[in-house]
Amino acid sequence: MVSSYILVVIATVARLVALMLPAFALPMLNLSAAAWIVAFGLYLYRFVPILVTPRPAAGNTVPAGVMRPQETKP
Q: Give residue 6's pLDDT.
A: 95
Q: Give residue 1's pLDDT.
A: 81
Backbone conformation region of residue 68, classed left if phi is above 0, alpha if psi is from -120 to 50, else beta: beta
CB burial of 40-73 (b: ≥16 within 10 Å; e: otherwise) equals eebeeeeeeeeeeeeeeeeeeeeeeeeeeeeeee
pLDDT tens-digit readout, 19-67: 999 999 999 999 999 999 999 999 999 989 888 888 776 555 655 665 6
User: 49 versus 15: which is more confidently predicted?
Assistant: 15
Residue extents of the structural domains in the chain: 2-51
Q: Give residue 8's pLDDT.
A: 95
Mean pLDDT of 62-73: 61
